[in-house]
Amino acid sequence: MRSTVLFFLLITALASVAQNPTIANKKLDGMWVPVKLEIDGAPLPSATFEKQKLTLVDSNYTFVAESVDKGMARYSDGKMDLYGRDGVNAGKHFTAIYKLENEQLVICYNLAGDSYPENFETKGKPTFFLAVFKKIVSE
């Protein structure tokens, strides 16, 4: 009986971790800077994003570019939903897919927010935006 209860508690805990973006995606927490940006298959010059940064903490994001955008991020199975709260994207919803690969965070956004990208390709898709970030490590 005791082992059945412990098993049930373990399964419940694992399920809550899988459903809670705050716990399940702690590895995304931190400050990230773009190393590559691309829209509709065309890379953007690095000078256009050299001062940008993305900060993720729990389920909140702050993106600093020409202005500051803040909002909420929800993660599930490699998909991301971003809900703008403050800044030029306040009230907007963006869908995206993401992956951590070679110590980089790769996000492909659909700026229309009407569906998730199926892959990390933007060519021929003018509303798709690809960003590759590297994490800033505190000293």
Q: What domains sit in the chain, N to C, each tagged with a CATH number?
A: 26-135 (2.40.128.280)
Whether the per-residue pLDDT at 4 is higher than 90: the answer is no
Q: Which residues of 9-139 form beta strands (DSSP E)?
A: 30-39, 42-43, 53-57, 60-64, 68-76, 79-86, 93-101, 104-110, 128-135
Mean pLDDT of 52-58: 95
pLDDT band at 137; cut points 50, 70, 90? confident
Q: Who has greater pLDDT, 106 or 7? A: 106
